[in-house]
Structure 1
């Protein structure tokens, strides 16, 4: 029985695409990577990682700079917090889950400080925990740590995310995932990664969970 619902942040709870592209282009100018508009960014999010790196003009020998770039990105992201809006319907969906007794958490590749500041500025207090994953591809380790810290079986946690790497992380951790189509990756790409559930509207999160428990929707 599911007890904890763990959300991704960017693309799942908030629409940060504009801020992400602006920050990326600022950093791209510094490192001489290819700059992007929002449409091109979305398109690149729907191709394999190696193709993304090639299209961005990042030499393979500079991949090791990614950690430094990610740290710089998170610092710049903080200055954009006031411009980032919540996805319509997500807060209401989360509130409904909270009313039913679920523990709600955020586990993100963004920084914990950025997420906490965003929630605090908007007086959002329904999330019980906020965690930052270790690196772009270390989310499965953080999921495992979360589960152990809260003494949960794999059947007691479900993740909600908008990217194929979220699906891959959950596969590695052997926990179920609800993939959402309102983020940067399109439905076909997410479906090809074979998530446990694939939904198009925030209201459907409750439908998935309540169908698992047999509660009235």
Structure 2
């Protein structure tokens, strides 16, 4: 029985790419990195994170230090990160079934919380922000221990290969949100594939 579902946010729940590109380009201009054109998105989705960093002339080691600056630009834009179509209904359905919904993301928790509440979602109490994009497994383990969940009690929903890699380290089943950031050519080792948000509701019911 599914007791808990942990979600990634950007690319999984939120279609935030347009806003983040605008914010990133302001950041890149100030810091001297290559900007991103919207027409480059399809090519970038097919690149791994190290490849994207090289393409943008952005040292991958700088990500933890750049993130707070990037989020500051997002906040300054005063735009609410939009949810993908069908996401609110999916979350409402899962919540009505008594499933514990949580979020573990690289995004800032206040930005996520603002997006959810702006969309009438006020029941997600656990929003955990991972400072290091390749270390979500540490937060996942901490969260599971806090609530005494086992991998058979929960699963994680995300859109990137790094999310899969984190789940492999924790033993947590993984559902790949196919509408997200990483192209399918980058995805390996997912347990399930969701073509629509409603698929996740079905997975939870059948688990």
Taking structure 2 as the reference length, what is the TM-score of the superposition?
A: 0.92
Number of aligned residue pairs: 207
| Match runs of 1:36-185 below 5 Å | 36-58=36-58, 62-80=59-77, 82-185=79-182
Structure 1 unaligned segments of length 5 or more: list them.
213-217
Contact 2:27 2:73 in 1 (8 A): no
Contact 1:95 1:126 in 2 (8 A): no
Q: Report what 2:23 is aligned to.
A: 23
Alignment of 1:3 onto 2:8: no
Report runs of 4+ in structure 1 exceeding 4 Å deviation. none
> What SS is found at the alignment partner of 2:152?
helix
- In the alignment, the residues of structure 2 paired with residue 51 and residue 89 of structure 1 have an alpha-carbon distance, to the nearest angstrom, of 31
The Cα shift of 1:110 comes to: 0.5
Structure 1 range deviating more: 90-99 or 34-43? 34-43
Taking structure 1 as the reference length, what is the TM-score of the superposition?
A: 0.88
Task: Report the RMSD for the aligned CA atoms in angstroms.
Answer: 1.6
Contact 1:106 1:129 in 2 (8 A): yes
